[in-house]
Amino acid sequence: MSHYKTPVEDISFVLFELLKAQKLSDLPAYAEASEDLQRAIIEEAGKMAEQVLLPVNESGDREGCTFDPESKAVKTPSGFQEAYKTYIEGGWSGLSSDSEFGGQGLPHLLKIVVDELCCSTNLSFGMYPGLSHGAIDLLSQHGTDEQKSTYLPKMIEGRWTGTMCLTEPQCGTDLGLISTKAVPDADGSYAISGTKIWITGGEHDLSENIIHLVLAKLPDAPEGSKGISLFVVPKFLEDGKRNAAFCGGLEHKMGIKASATCVMNFEGAKGWLVGQPNQGLKCMFTMMNAARIMVGIQGLGLAETAYQVSLGFAKERLQSRSLSGPKSPDQKADPIIVHPDVRRMLLKQKLFTEGARAMAYWTGLHQDLSHAAEDETQRQVSDDIFQLMTPVVKAYLTDEGFFSTDAGLQSMGGSGFTQDWPLEQLLRDGRIARIYEGTNGIQAMDLVGRKLVMNGGRLPRTYFAELEKLIEGLDNDVHREHCKSFLQATQKALAWLAQNAPNDPEHAGAVASPLLKMFAYTTLSVMWANMAQLSHDEHVSERFSGDFLAGKRKAAEHFFRVYKGEQLALLDDVVAGKDTLMDLAENEF
């Protein structure tokens, strides 16, 4: 049973009231992205998600992908081919891609919105264009002119899809351990040999060609991560011949069953170097920020659907009477939404989806400003914020999106656990987002080990300065003080880290995850306070319903009630450092 409506009102509130995304069209790079166009895109993307992707979501989960060991072909579930055709004919695959190669060149922020709708309605489907987009980004940034003109137009059009082939049986997080080999041929190409596992979209029947981006080692490569190079390996070569890159089987997994997760065997396949020799990991990192934001959005998209379903359920399911007396006296019981404990779960979901949307879109706006703002200082500020927030968005949205979906399932009782309702699928589908594209533990290490210390610690300074400006703009003194307390707690945690981690890096590893959450809560506090402020605005109230705005105001109060204490508890956790975590010897576990 599917219940999903594109949350147009909330998306518009965040885009046009909170972030003023319509101003992007003042920038020459995005002159076409007027408010009217942005609204039209949201409307059309909503139709596509609801009418094309949603109808094949549950059936795709039940049917899954199938592998034929004879032909090595992978079949996607019924309806996926038609849905993919509609998707690419609508131009969705090239929304934010370079117009030089056939893309529409629109802001990434809009792509983030469209991604959210796709993830809400069919995460498995979204994986195929999602991985292609990562491959497009990589080739755009590091490919030669010839590689760009060979691959990008067809990939942007969606007729060819892309993959990212990093993982091998012996290495996931630690890519320095890869053993796939690349041996130079006389014609300037390389023979690629090795096995990659868990490759999303490694083989399928949606596109005419599949372009693999493969990490491999040259014969004379240095040991470890300094010796990894990147290669482009098409399934079909330019003359139409089949390249020796074959699917060896499909993974049987907990969720996203309609997304083909493949073992890929490269059997001396022809490939071409992308970027410089031994610089493959660096190339990967340059596109990872965008890919990580997209994975974060998966957590948001699934949680939004879970919220809509469980909220609808809570308004209809009749059980027990309200503690303050009957609310539906003509019925045998009241709807469960009257019960405080059910409300606690529903409010957790509301706070997550609306707060996470504001935080992720704010980050997406800075992504666009980081390269399109006319003023160099603004570009720098925005790049700092985008870089710092990337691991926060990826990890917080996928962790808490999962827990928010779980709260929705719990609020539905046994119904949530059955296949009569979509929550069990949403929960299974969402679990992987906390693992791939760098586990959430690794995101926290990225924040602490790279982002906080880059450029002499400039990124957190820029972030705090930007939030302080937003806090100064608040009219509500109480909210201003609340936000300051979130920010100061995070600053105290950083001061502790600066004092203790240099002498003992295990402290940094121990506090990384709680610290990442503190950055999330700090950002959310400022987002909620600003949303509450907007709810009082005369012009805003002309465009939004009274219920919608009252909901924002009251939810903001609940945010501060629940999360202010949590922020202080996280600070306690940080300043305890590695103590108790590292005290046990291995055999004491």
Ligand X SMILES: Cc1cc2nc3c(=O)[nH]c(=O)nc-3n(C[C@H](O)[C@H](O)[C@H](O)COP(=O)(O)OP(=O)(O)OC[C@H]3O[C@@H](n4cnc5c(N)ncnc54)[C@H](O)[C@@H]3O)c2cc1C
User: Footprint of ligand X on this chain (CB under 6 A)?
Assistant: 131, 164-167, 172-173, 198-200, 253, 261, 432, 435-436, 438-439, 441-442, 445
Known catalytic residue at 82: no
- Per the rule left: phi > 0, alpha: psi between -120 and 50, beta: everything else, 255 is beta
- Is 178 or 555 the residue whose CB approaches ligand X more closely? 178
- Is 349 or 425 the residue whose CB approaches ligand X more closely? 425
First to last CA, the chain: 44
Write the DSSP symbol of residue 197: E
Place of tokens 């040999």: 193
CA distance 314 to 423: 14
- Is 6 or 161 the residue whose CB approaches ligand X more closely? 161
Q: Kindly report the CA angle at 194 between 191 and 197, in degrees rounded to 5?
A: 135
Q: Quick one: how far is CA 580 from the chain centroid?
A: 33
Shortest distance, CB of residue 280 to ligand X, whole angstroms?
12
CB-closest chain residue to ligand X: 172
CA distance 545 to 394: 32
- Is 350 or 434 the residue whose CB approaches ligand X more closely? 434
Place of tokens 């939404």: 337
Cβ–Cβ < 8 Å for 80, 63: no
Name the catalytic one among 100, 437, 542, 588: 437
- Is 164 or 360 the residue whose CB approaches ligand X more closely? 164
Q: 238 by DSSP, 3-state: which?
A: coil
Q: What are phi and psi of 463, to 5 degrees?
A: -60, -50
CA distance 259 to 264: 15
CA distance 526 to 216: 44
Shortest distance, CB of residue 200 to ligand X, whole angstroms?
3
Partners of 200 in the β-ladder: 261
Shortest distance, CB of residue 125 to ligand X, whole angstroms?
14
Shortest distance, CB of residue 298 to ligand X, whole angstroms?
12
Shortest distance, CB of residue 445 to ligand X, whole angstroms?
6
Residues near 585 by Cβ (< 8 Å), separated by ≥ 6?
none
Specify the pairing of strand 209-216 against strand 160-165: parallel
CA distance 47 to 423: 22
CA distance 62 to 56: 10
Shortest distance, CB of residue 405 to ligand X, whole angstroms?
17
Cβ–Cβ < 8 Å for 491, 427: no
Shortest distance, CB of residue 201 to ligand X, whole angstroms?
7
Write the DSSP symbol of residue 50: I
- Is 88 or 166 the residue whose CB approaches ligand X more closely? 166
- Is 165 or 359 the residue whose CB approaches ligand X more closely? 165
- Is 118 or 199 the residue whose CB approaches ligand X more closely? 199
Name the residue type at position 170: Q
Give me 302's structure tokens: 């699934």
Q: What is the length of the chain?
A: 589
Shortest distance, CB of residue 131 to ligand X, whole angstroms?
6
In terms of DSSP H, where are the helices of 373-439? Answer: 376-411, 414-417, 423-431
Annotated active-site positions, please? Answer: 437
